[in-house]
A and B are shown apart, each in its own frame.
Chain A
């Protein structure tokens, strides 16, 4: 139990560091989703299944998609369509 929690906490912190260190914004967003996923596993281990479900659905799912879509909208999606009419 302690070993598992230590392992997942380590993965989570590594992903959090990756959010700051990675220069590509899309990669940073993916790392943030990884943080949320590790966090929801931690919530399961802490016997909080409700919170884990919310974190997985909202944190790892919708937040990541929303951030990625915003990146596309402001033209920061690498290789994506730079199709902002305001520019």
Chain B
């Protein structure tokens, strides 16, 4: 197998494993772990696409002119994506903490059931978690 095939297989593998965790798992935190895995897979793919054999890292050494370098553009984009991924992760975890405060569970089906019960109890038109329902 060539280097490229290995890297592409790694990226696709991360993507698929992350998709599995997002679709099949019922725990909210596991879904978020799957999201992070998908992000990692896409990042790896982008950097791998910009790679060139026998090329230098996109950093000039002192007194050296720009020769053959790997593509710096995907690297800049992936750098952005990693930091934004952390922001998304933190926001998702904040929502998870809030869901746990409101419903006392993180099982998606259980949360959906509780939401349905709540909606039926409070009549049509009133939906969503009441703030501080359990405190």
Contacts and interface: CB of A to CB of B under 8 A. Distances in A.
Interface of A: 1-2, 5-6, 9, 12-13, 16-17, 19-20, 25, 28-29, 32, 35-36, 39, 42-43, 46-51, 54-55, 58-59, 62-63, 66-67, 70-71, 73-74, 76, 84-87
Given A2-B3, A16-B14, A63-B89, A47 B33 contact: no
* Chain B interface, >50% SS class: helix
B57 interface: yes
Interface residues on B, range: 35 or more
B83 interface: yes
* Chain A interface, >50% SS class: helix
A48 B47 contact: yes
Q: 3 closest A-B pairs (Cβ-Cβ)?
A: A9-B10, A47-B57, A74-B100
Contact of A32 (B1, B33, B56, B75): B33
A48 B70 contact: yes
A35 B6 CA distance: 16
Give the residue among A39, A58, A74, A87 with the most B Cβ atoms within 10 A: A74
A80 to B, nearest CB: 15
A5 B33 contact: no
Contact of B6 (A2, A19, A54): A2
